[in-house]
Amino acid sequence: MDDTKLTVRAVERALDILSLFTDETELSLTEIAAKTELHKSTVHRLLASLEGKGYLVRNAETEKYRIGFRIWELAANMSQSDDPGVLLQPEMERLRDSLGETISLYVRDGNERIRIQAVQSNQAIRRVAPIGARLPLSVGASSKVLIAFAEPDEQAQLLQELEWASPADRDAFVGQLGDIRRLGYATSIEEREPGAAAVSAPIYNRAHKLVAALGVSGPSNRLTLEKMKEHAMLIIEGANRMGKMLK
Amino acid sequence: MDDTKLTVRAVERALDILSLFTDETELSLTEIAAKTELHKSTVHRLLASLEGKGYLVRNAETEKYRIGFRIWELAANMSQSDDPGVLLQPEMERLRDSLGETISLYVRDGNERIRIQAVQSNQAIRRVAPIGARLPLSVGASSKVLIAFAEPDEQAQLLQELEWASPADRDAFVGQLGDIRRLGYATSIEEREPGAAAVSAPIYNRAHKLVAALGVSGPSNRLTLEKMKEHAMLIIEGANRMGKMLK
DNA sequence: AACTGAGTTTCATATAATGAAACATGTGGA
DNA sequence: TCCACATGTTTCATTATATGAAACTCAGTT
């Protein structure tokens, strides 16, 4: 019981309340109290603080709370850069820290993919991913993602144009695409680099266009099948978050 | 000393810290401590809470704090509607509550203006402003704003086309435009409605285009010259805030 | 090596956040 | 009309909890 807490409970509670508004657009005090399992008295004070500072606004008609203008002010300030590689780096670092493995960001460029950003694992044995590397679209988890989630016509064209080592390779690749779309992520084990495995998920921008693939990769003995499934969830989550940062 | 506090201090402090990021994009712990005049120990804990919940992220290189992904998630959720009238209503209500006077929102439609939104004062004597009303562009504080801050070519055309009661009226109107641009707001006293006065400021969207005029209006005996100056500051502030909500 | 400055952790203390309960207000049902 | 119920607001005693001083790292300077 000595989990030394370096955080402030009241603040965490307030922020949790604020986070509720990522799902719902309007919430009443009692709804919030129910969702957070806090006493309405406590919620009332926290809401007053949030409202007083402009982070929530009260809809005079419905009496419910909505997100306030402060959020816009903050959001307006963050979008200085449009470059996903720059924009997403901090989030990728977060992800690296929680997964402990190298995180890469790929965009498709014609019939290739480019690693436009990467943050390296800091474990002794790690996958090192050079930024700027151009890689084939025919192998690797992120390649599958970039193809599986491409627009149908683009996808068809890519599958025509791309070259595989053998027709069997091609069929194996194509055969996976359906599952990948269904699961929302792709994996690869020792496909391009011996000893390396990866999990990848698509990043859609706010306009719902596929813009990149986000991947985690590491030594295949550390990325067991089980671990990969766990990582997949976090990669998908992270990719969704990041997508909201891109217009 | 009985200022009954219905808010939570720790939360307010945390939110104040977050608000610092509307101006600066990156801040270190000590910078934050200095700006907020809080002990670095306190700031440290608040920052840990904010970071833990994703409202701030640490730039691994600079060690400084930046706005986190949560803000995007929240911002993404709020922009369901693009209609300024709908979007700005809660903010207008806020403003109404702090000024105690009727708040109106006007857009220009050709050679007229339309009151696309209004929230009414709740004082006994109040200006009642019907939504949807079409009004002339040649009188009233908001008309002056919509013309003074229009694009130069549009402005020139409007000044040509609009009709005034007399050439003297026209000259008086045109003569004010320079001051209005300089001050950032316009006023009118008993111009269109006898007994009514108003203050108005432009709303620019995030692309820096003039989209509307935000006005406060009330009985001219309550809106003294002094009061109008005070209100002008708040209207300008509010208009800036609201502009950030419009793309 | 000593010094500065930024960040982090520890710790005793009193403040300040808490939750129960009472109060207020409003709405719909009987 | 009156009662019941739900939602929001305020009060208040209690103690947990946030606080700030100080001590402690850890780097980078001189």
Tell me the mean pLDDT in the region A40-68: 87
Tell me the mean pLDDT in the region B215-231: 93
Instruction: Determine the distance between A131 (CA) and C1 (C1') in angstroms.
Output: 41
Q: How far apart are CA A3 and CA A9, in angstroms?
A: 13
**b/e burial code for range A53-92 (CB count within 10 A of at least 16 → b):** bbbbbbeeeeebbbbbbbbbbbbebbeeeeebbebbbbbb
Residue B149's CB is within 10 A of a number of other CB atoms, namely 19
With beta carbons less than 8 A apart as the criterion, state whether A117 and A104 touch: yes
Cross-chain residue pair A241–B93, CB shorter than 8 Å: no
Assign B141 a pLDDT band (cuts: 50, 70, 90): very high
Residue A48 touches chain B, beta carbons under 8 Å: yes
Q: Is the pLDDT of residue B189 over 90?
A: yes
- Phi, psi angles (nearest 5°) of residue A237: -55, -50
Assign B77 a pLDDT band (cuts: 50, 70, 90): low
* pLDDT tens-digit map of B36-60: 999 999 999 999 999 989 899 887 6
Return the SS3 of B207.
Answer: coil
Relative to beta strand A65-67, strand B186-189 is unpaired
* pLDDT tens-digit map of A18-45: 999 887 778 999 999 999 999 999 999 9
Is this complex scored with an ipTM above 0.85?
A: no
Return the SS3 of B152.
Answer: helix
Q: Which two tokens stand for residue B62?
A: 């600079």
Q: Collect all residues of chain B within an 8 Å Cβ-Cβ radius of residue A78.
A: 25, 66-67, 71-72
B101 or B126, higher pLDDT: B101
Q: Which of A90, A233, A150 is nearest to B68 (CA)?
A: A90
* pLDDT tens-digit map of A147-186: 999 999 899 999 989 988 889 989 999 999 999 999 999 9
Return the SS3 of B154.
Answer: helix
* pLDDT tens-digit map of A90-139: 788 888 888 989 999 999 988 989 888 888 887 777 777 778 788 999 99
**Structure letter (DSSP) for residue A163:** -
Size of interface A-B (CB pairs under 8 A): 166
With beta carbons less than 8 A apart as the criterion, state whether A44 and A14 touch: no
Domains of chain B (ranges, CATH numbers): 9-78 (1.10.10.10), 84-243 (3.30.450.40)
Q: Smallest Cβ distance to A67: which of B10, B46, B74?
A: B74
State whether the Cα torsion B45-B47-B50-B54 is positive or negative.
Answer: negative
Residue B87 touches chain A, beta carbons under 8 Å: no
Residue A4, nucleotide of least CA–C1' distance? C9
Residue ranges of A 139-168 with Cβ closer than 8 A to chain B: none
Residue ranges of A 212-241 with Cβ closer than 8 A to chain B: 241
Q: Smallest Cβ distance to A59: which of B22, B50, B90?
A: B90
Q: Which nucleotides of C are covered by protein (CB under 7 A)?
A: 5-10, 16-21
pLDDT computed for residue A136 by the predictor: 92
Q: Is the pLDDT of residue B3 over 70?
A: no
Q: Which two tokens stand for residue B136?
A: 């002339």
Q: What is the dihedral of CA A62, A64, B217, B79, to 10 degrees?
A: -100
